[in-house]
Amino acid sequence: VTAKDSIYPRLPLLAQHVAVSYRGWQIKRTHLGPGFAERLCAAEERTYWSAERLAEFRDERLRAVVAHAAATVPYYRELFRAEGLDPAGVRSLEDLAAALPTLTKQTVQERGAEFRSEAVPAKELVIRGTGGTTGAGLRFATTLGGQQEHEAVQWRFRRWHGIQRGMWCAWFSGQLTVDPERSKPPFWRYNVPGRQVFVSLHHLRLELLGDFVDLLRRRRIPWIHGAPSAIGLLAGHLLDRGEELGYRPVAVTLAAESLLPWQAELIERGFGIRPRQRWVMTEAVAGASECEEGRLHVDDDFAAVEFLPLGDGTYRVVGTNLTNPATPLLRYELNDIVTLDPAGCTCGRGGRTLASVDGRLEDYLVLSDGTLIGAQLVMYRGVTNVAGAQVLQSVPGEVILRVIRGKGYTDADTEALLGSMRRRFGDRLAVTLEFVDSLPREGSGKVRMVVTTLPEGRLERAAALR
């Protein structure tokens, strides 16, 4: 269900539940369908492998990906030829790092078709889109097998924390399943086959937080999932009122944004359970999963991840996907900055551990009615000709959207950008578009998606809810 579906927003409530359920049923019989159980089982068998065994498994996958890319992907065929490289010479992640330059998202955006393998038939392609933290979206192809590998590692993580398939989840989502202008509950839609309640992040304004708490209490939904900025608001609401949730969820899982220590603490106090996070991105070039001991383990069997030192104790991330034969991405640059955890972990899992991932620490946008919008919602889905974007706010309900136009940018992209903001925020946000050649970077080299001078929009403000 996407904003592009023109019929969906006009459907009556029950029909919207049915439409969301139908989509859930499709996903259940494809991504989680035949073949998935075997992949999950294989992924779980690797859970306690030693670092050496994981690295060997990763490099074996990597050799196959490199050979496949050099033989069937036009971009890589040309790159290996131009550099005079023999793909068979790449035996390990170290070899790959020495042989190839890194790859930017911009290159993949501009030369998308050249990254598609000729060996995967068109009928087997599954098209995925990403928003991306600098506002630059990307559309690329994967396969059903690739999707299942992705889901297998997700489910492995969930099962570490007591979540079972078929368990109901309150999924706080930026998808437009509920009209953002709707002012009366329900602000959620049911995916019955997938056991999900899609809760609309667009309605997470302070005066409606009680409605969301009521939903959780009434249904005693065992698994709560969302971005820290959203789940943190709910936890703050409970603590603010001196209320308890009234039941103990099985798990609270977080994704899509960095998790700050005080946010984790706030959520734990609000919900009575420690939240668990997984670092994940649609391109599947890296991943890390929190274990029962609270440490982030790099999913070394899933992607070939490199951490390149920045000289100040932090690392930037370059990753190679190992599970997508349709669009292999070798040494793809991410916007995230990580710190490593040399102490390792006592849980018995091998592989590397991270102390923190700081990629998506973002402030909130403030709409004219006071709604706080997490940066997750400011992603511009479906807009692919934008090389970068940033939102500036100094007045509630008004923003300046700065855009770097990519190759092939046209008026249609402007319309898509403004249309996506209009559909989401309506009259509650006035958007002025400004084209620029570059965006200011932080000290760490990252571009913030949201830059605000409003105190109520600062991420740290949520701490004050305590």
Q: Point out which residues bind Zn ion (CB under 5 A).
A: 291, 293, 295, 345, 347, 349
Closest contact distance (angstroms) between CB of 110 and Zn ion is 40
Instruction: Measure the CA–CA gap between 163 and 393, rounded to whole angstroms.
Output: 39
- Runs of H (alpha helix) within 7-138: 13-29, 36-45, 51-72, 74-83, 93-99, 105-110
Task: Please identify, using beta-carbon distances, which residue of 194 and 275 lies nearer to Zn ion.
Answer: 275
Closest contact distance (angstroms) between CB of 294 and Zn ion is 8
Distances (CA, A) of 428 to 99, 175, 183, 370, 400: 51, 18, 13, 9, 14
Task: Please identify, using beta-carbon distances, which residue of 8 and 157 lies nearer to Zn ion.
Answer: 157
Instruction: Measure the CA–CA gap between 79 and 50, rounded to whole angstroms.
Output: 34
Task: Please identify, using beta-carbon distances, which residue of 47 and 263 lies nearer to Zn ion.
Answer: 47
Closest contact distance (angstroms) between CB of 275 and Zn ion is 16
Closest contact distance (angstroms) between CB of 306 and Zn ion is 21
Task: Please identify, using beta-carbon distances, which residue of 278 and 349 lies nearer to Zn ion.
Answer: 349
Among the listed residues 265, 239, 259, the one whose alpha carbon sits nearest the alpha carbon of residue 374 = 259
Closest contact distance (angstroms) between CB of 346 and Zn ion is 7
Asked whether 224 and 170 are in contact (CB, 8 A), the reply is: yes
Who's near 461: CB < 8 A, 6+ residues apart?
364, 455
Instruction: Measure the CA–CA gap between 175 and 173, rounded to whole angstroms.
Output: 5
Closest contact distance (angstroms) between CB of 179 and Zn ion is 42
* H or E stretch at 417: helix 411-425
Task: Please identify, using beta-carbon distances, which residue of 181 and 293 lies nearer to Zn ion.
Answer: 293
Report the SS3 class of residue 378: helix
Task: Please identify, using beta-carbon distances, which residue of 163 and 235 lies nearer to Zn ion.
Answer: 163
